[in-house]
Each structure stands twice: as structure tokens, then as C-alpha cells.
Amino acid sequence: IEIDLRGRSRKFSANDQKLMYALASQAAIFIENARLERDVRSMFLNIIVSMAGAVDAKDAYTHGHSLRVARVALIVAQQREMAREQMEPLLLSAVLHDVGKIAIPDEILKKPTRLNKAEFEIMKGHTTAGAKMLSHIPALDNVIPGILEHHEYWNGSGYPGGLKGENISLLGRIIHIGVA
């Protein structure tokens, strides 16, 4: 804070000092809050990446899959010239798109051969399981559509909702490109 006293007819009073002290205190609080918010945001993003890593670690076949899908999703978003404020939800959705696989039994998730129809139905539940796992976190409300809809197909033959065309969220459509 800088004070220019040139051209001032009176001296810097005790009240002026109190006012400046109050302003400086408020500025310090603002700066500290901004630092804390940055730290919390960083911790939040690290937890998200760790969750994706836990999913990938559960199934060696998909090791690194979530981050590869995130990279593809960001490339598609950049090509579409997607608004900057939409990029973070897209990135988080892409990184977390398979988080629901934590709820899938290992004998299905790690099965080395093709899944039978009943097993595939259980595997398809990873989209709704992931959405449900994160639904209690308000900060992720705009991320959940990408997690829930990343296996929906434009022609309506996907899951879990059989959504078609524009009824699939933009996040779901972009992440689907990286998954396919």
C-alpha cells in the first residue's frame, strides 16, 4: 500500500493511521486466503489424480488409461476451442471417468478372457457407481455427466441411459472419443 501525501493540507492523523492499518490488515487477509485457496485446490486436484491412479492400479491392463483419456479429451477440447471454464470439468471428468471400477469385483474387472453377458452388465455399472460415489461432492456436480455418460453412443446404443445425439452431455461425448 502506497500513500501519496503531496498536496495534502493536513498531516497524517491517528485516524488516517487506523484506516491504513485496517486496509493493510484486510489486504493481508485477502492474500493469505488466496494462498490457502490455491493450496486447497492443489490438494483437491492431487486427490483426484490419486483416485484415478488407484483405479488404474486395481487393473494393470488399464494402467495410465485415465490420464491418456484426459490428454485426448483436452486435445479435442482445444480443437473445438472450448471455453477455458469448461476445460477443468472436462479434465476432472476424463481423469475420473472410470472411478466406478473400484466397485466392480476383481474377478470381473481382471478377467483375462471376454466377459459373458451377466459379467458385462455388472461391468457397465461402473458408470453409475462412479457418478454415485462422487454425487455427494458439490464441487464435482459439473463433472458427473462425463463420468456417467462416457459410454453413450451417438446412435443411442450405449449405456447406462441409452442416450442419443445431443442428449449426451458434451463432456460425455468428448470423453467417449478418448475411451473408444
What are the catalytic residues? 101
CB atoms within 10 A of CB 70: 22
Q: What is the CA radius of gyration of the chain?
A: 24
Instruction: Round to whole Å and give the CA distance between 54 and 49.
Output: 9
3-class secondary structure, 114: coil
Residue of 165, 151, 96, 153 lying closest to 120 (CA atoms): 151
First to last CA, the chain: 55
Q: How far from the centroid of its chain's Cα atoms is residue 141's Cα?
A: 9
Contacts of 56 (CB under 8 A, 6+ apart): 62, 63, 64, 65, 66
Can you state the angle between helices 84-96 and 14-58, rounded to 10 degrees?
40
